[in-house]
Amino acid sequence: MSKYTEDDLKKELETKEYEYGFYTDIESEKFPIGLNEDIVRAISKKKNEPEWMTDWRLDAFKIWKQMEEPEWANVTYHKPDFQNISYYSAPKKKPELESLDQVDPELLKTFEKLGISIDEQKRLSNVAVDIVMDSVSVATTFKKTLNEKGIIFCPISEAIQEHPELVKKYMGSIVPKTDNFYAALNSAVFSDGSFCYIPKGVKCPMELSTYFRINEGGTGQFERTLVIADKGSYVSYLEGCTAPQRDENQLHAAVVELIALDDAEIKYSTVQNWFPGDKEGKGGVYNFVTKRGLCETNAKISWTQVETGSAVTWKYPSCVLKGNNSVGEFYSIAVTNNYQQADTGTKMIHLGKNTKSTIISKGISAGKSQNSYRGLVQINKRAENARNFSQCDSLLMGNLCGAHTFPYIEVKNKSAQIEHEATTSKIGEDQLFYCNQRGIDTDKAIALIVNGFSKEVLNKLPMEFAVEAQKLLEISLEGSVG
Amino acid sequence: MLEIKNLHARVEDKDILKGINLSVKAGEVHAIMGPNGSGKSTLSSVIAGKEEYEVTEGEVFLNNENLEDLSPEDRAHKGIFMSFQYPVEIPGVSVTNFIKTAINETRKANGKEELSAKDMLHKIRETAALLEIDRKFLSRSLNEGFSGGEKKRNEIFQMAMLEPKLAILDETDSGLDIDALKIVANGVNKLKSKDNAVIIITHYQRLLDYIVPDFVHVLHNGKIVKSGGKELAHELEDKGYDWLK
């Protein structure tokens, strides 16, 4: 990440509309709208997938057809017409790239606008980037360094070809096709995504990073991510997103599966700032994501998310603590402004003995938005001495927004220790005046207060991501008071 | 430096200031004293530009510039500093981060470059030493869990860092024990120069033993009813405020 200066921030604050709302003019290849078996087959064929994969998709499609869209979340929206979406879009010339010079200059320009200079990434931040532009990965860097360690980091379409045994074994093992409506849909039509395998005992020497980006109006994006940390390995994975401005709603239904085998650790960080809709609540991305991780013995999975975008968010990164002594963590900042709605939280499923989970959720609501935390802590019968600590804090701005907390606690073992803390606060006029008097204007003051409020979570992010996250918080709350 | 002419102000339809005239020159220390409810804190809030206070008549000038249309942050950028009677808490924002932001925002507003991290750190250390502030204190969340004395010392620390032209100390002595009072006063005295001015708003004469004012004004019912030299403060201490009403 390039260094973010105060001047950059000021420039950004001057731009009231969603600044990433530009459209990249890259020739795209796009399927006709609608969804049926032929489309599913066509997607699979497009990717030269082996038969087992095609069958897997078709099976998922059958399951999906019988499912209904869930309605229990605390959000209201026009349900997408699933027959009015194109399920595949890819930059037409899928380049086989060895260097950046071969990348479409239009595409590079887009990355520049996003502040993601790959070159800079290479030089400065030691981050390997697998960039997903619309649905096809177009550039993979640092592959060589990773190769030396035996780490596989590639588009999932490539993994299906080259590492079918791993994909077959793990894909759908944590989030089965039958899991929920959107997971089933994703399983049928997923376009691309990332695959990552860390071999036994290997500590991944760099943060693995993927930038997702929805381009091409009206194209739903269905990412599929699979991260496998073999015994005793460690990986930190970053995912960050932006989307261009569009009038019609765009659907995003990703599935992320993490597998941490014995003694392994996965740290998965997300910064999500998809187009949230305009000030009147028009447009914006629907983000219906299923993220789940499995911890074997002594393993640890840590989810950290900063969610500032999307019109409607439905997302519960979860941990299944199967192995004894395994640890699950969830650190979240969710910001809603204008007409955004977020229903987000986590599930911590304690199966093994001495399992531990921590949940820190910070919800920030402004404008006319609704922000809900929904979390399940489940201690199962065999989970002796399980422990959970949950903290849910809400910060409100103005009088028209809402903050909601829905904690679910299910305990089936008496030795469990569970703590739940919750607070709600409001940014006060007196706080703002105090900052103003010290020469800090109201927007900057809000940013400062919000960053302070979110600090425990921001601190969990890798350094270069924390900077971007702070900047996002500031942009998304700009002008929300006064 | 500061010229207040026939200032009338109200809050929530209640007239509080009813014609204040005051002239403060560079290098001077003025004390404004008065009983509770006389309008002391309103005066400082109006000078700082707090929105709830409506100026109904009269004007305030800083270095010949009418402050009327300026926001609180604009006024701060022009060198007005107010030490709060009740400083607010900002959880998760360290003293260092807060003052760094305040300084850089002010510098930017005045067309200056941000202070480099090295210079900032140097300045923070120097100022902390001057005010006998423990460095650990600087990494704590702003005013969160601070004692009364720590809050006031933090205000003076920020003042020292921001180097204002005009500092208004609103009841800075309240809640301070004698040692803290001395440290605060000592800090103010060290920062005083021929180029800046200080207005001390206080109920008691106590602080004025340590920061000696050039002028003392008595505020009563929204007006300055008496002005004099430092001896007026002692007179008030002896006789109370009743004889002036």
pLDDT, tens digit (0-9, with 9 covering 90-100), for A208-231: 876 544 444 444 578 899 999 999
> What pLDDT was estimated at residue A105?
62
Q: Do B71 and A438 touch (CB under 8 A)?
A: no
* pLDDT tens digits, A146-167: 888 999 988 888 899 999 999 9
Q: What is residue A106's predicted lDDT score, i.e. its pLDDT?
A: 56
* Residues in chain A closer than 8 A to B158 (CB atoms): 438
Give a yes or no: residue A89 inside a domain.
yes
Number of domains in chain A: 1
Residue ranges for chain B with pLDDT beneath 70: 245
Given this model, what pLDDT does residue A135 score?
41
User: From A482, which residue of chain B is nearest by alpha-carbon distance?
Assistant: B51
Give the pLDDT of residue A278: 77
Flag if B105 and A452 touch (Cβ within 8 Å). no
Name the more confident of B141 and A21. B141
For residue range A252-271, what is the model confidence (pLDDT) as tens digits? 889 999 999 999 999 999 88
Report the C-alpha gap between A460 and A458 in whole angstroms: 5
B162–A438 CB contact, under 8 Å: yes
Sign of the CA dihedral running A150, A156, A161, A167:
positive
Q: Which among A10, A449, A456 is the nearest to B90, CB-wise?
A: A449
Q: Give whole-number Cα distances, B64 to A223, B23, B29, in Å.
A: 63, 12, 19
Find the Cα–Cα–Cα–Cα dihedral A465, A470, A472, A476, rounded to 10°.
Answer: 160
Task: Answer yes or no: is A258 within a domain.
Answer: yes
Question: When comparing pLDDT for A362 and A114, which is higher?
Answer: A362
* Residue A22 pLDDT greater than 70, yes or no: no
A453–B84 C-beta distance less than 8 A? no
Q: What is the pLDDT of residue A7?
A: 53
Cβ-based contacts of A434 with chain B (< 8 Å): 84, 87-88, 90
For A54-66, write each residue's pLDDT tens digit: 999 999 999 999 9
Q: How many CB pairs below 8 Å do chains A and B form together? A: 76
For residue A481, being part of any structural domain is answered with no
Specify the number of domains making up chain B.
1
The predicted-structure confidence for A363-387, as pLDDT tens digits, reads as follows 999 888 999 999 999 999 999 999 9
Task: Encode pLDDT of A381-401 as tens digits.
Answer: 999 999 999 999 999 988 889
The proportion of chain A whose per-residue pLDDT surpasses 70, expressed as a percent, equals 77
CA distances from A51 to A87, A182, A196, A474 (A): 20, 23, 22, 48
Using CA atoms, how far residue B170 sits from A227, A477, B52, B78, B202, in Å, is 58, 32, 18, 19, 7
> Residue B4: its pLDDT value, please?
96
pLDDT digits (tens, 9 = 90+) for A276-335: 787 787 778 888 999 999 999 999 999 999 888 888 899 999 999 999 999 999 999 998
pLDDT tens-digit profile of A185-206? 999 999 878 899 999 999 998 8
Mean pLDDT, chain A, rounded, equals 81
Looking up residue B100, the CATH number of its domain turns out to be: 3.40.50.300
pLDDT higher than threshold 80 for residue A413: yes
Residue A69 has pLDDT above 70, yes or no: yes
**Which chain B residues are within 8 Å of A436, Cβ to Cβ?**
49, 71-73, 76
pLDDT of residue A95: 40
User: The complex's ipTM?
Assistant: 0.95
Chain A nearest-CA residue for B159: A438
Q: Tell if the CB–CB gap between A452 and B158 is shorter than 8 Å.
A: no
Is 60 exceeded by the pLDDT of residue A133? no
CA distance A206 to chain B (A): 27
Q: Do B90 and A452 touch (CB under 8 A)?
A: yes
| Dist. CA A252–CA A114, nearest whole Å | 20
Mutate to test the interface with A, among B12, B42, B80, B101 (most CBs of A within 10 A): B101
Q: Which residue reads 């604009």 in tokens? A: B74
Which of A439, A452, A455 is opposite residue B109, by nearest beta carbon?
A: A439
Nearest residue on chain B to A446, judged by CA atoms? B90
Query: In this complex, do A452 and B92 lie within 8 Å of one another by their Cβ atoms?
Result: yes
φ, ψ at A389 (rounded to 5°) = -125, 125
Rounded-to-integer distance, Cα B224 and Cα B243, Å: 14
pLDDT for the residue numbered A115 = 54
- Portion 389-448 of A in contact with B at CB < 8 A: 428, 430-431, 433-442, 444, 448
Return the pLDDT at A326: 98
Residues B73, A6: C-beta atoms closer than 8 Å: no
Distance linking the first and last C-alpha atoms of chain A: 32
Which range of residues forms the domain containing residue B162? 2-244
Q: Is residue A482 part of a domain?
A: no
The 3-state secondary structure of chain A reads: CCCCCHHHHHHHHHCCCCCCCCCCCCCEEECCECCCHHHHHHHHHHCCCCHHHHHHHHHHHHHHHCCCCCCCCCCCCCCCCHHHCECCEEECCCCCCCCHHHCCHHHHHHHHHCCCCHHHHHHHHCCEEEEEECCEEEEECCHHHHHHHCCEEEEHHHHHHHCHHHHHHHCCCCCCCCCCHHHHHHHHHCCECEEEEECCCCECCCCEEEEEECCCCCECECEEEEEEECCCCEEEEEEEEECCCCCCCEEECCEEEEEECCCCEEEEEEEEECCCCCCCCCCCEEEEEEEEEEECCCCEEEEEEEECCCCEEEECCEEEECCCCCEEEEEEEEEECCCCEEEEEEEEEECCCCCEEEEEEEEEECCCCEEEEEEEEEECCCCCCCEEEEEEEEEECCCCCEEEEEEEEEECCCCCEEEEEEEEEECCHHHHHHHHHCCCCHHHHHHHHHHHHCHHHHCCCCHHHHHHHHHHHHHHCCCCCC
Do the Cβ atoms of A434 and B87 come within 8 Å? yes
Which pLDDT band holds residue A138 (cuts at 50, 70, 90)? very low
pLDDT in tens, A465-482: 777 777 777 777 776 664
Give me the percent of chain A exceeding a pLDDT of 90. 46
pLDDT at A26 over 60: no
Query: What is the reported pLDDT for A257?
Result: 96
- Residue A349 maps to a domain: yes
User: In chain A, which residues have their Cβ closer than 8 Å to the Cβ of B93?
Assistant: 448-449, 451-452
A481 touches chain B (CB under 8 A): no
- Tell me which chain B residues have a C-beta less than 8 angstroms from the C-beta of A474: none
Query: In a mutagenesis test of the A interface, which of B47, B74, B93 is the best target, namely the one with the most A β-carbons within 10 Å?
Result: B93
**A456 to chain B: which residues are within 8 Å by CB?**
92
Q: Which residues of B touch A439 (CB under 8 A)?
A: 73, 76-77, 102-103, 105-106, 109, 162
B51/A430 CB distance under 8 A: no
Which residues form the domain of A388?
6-476
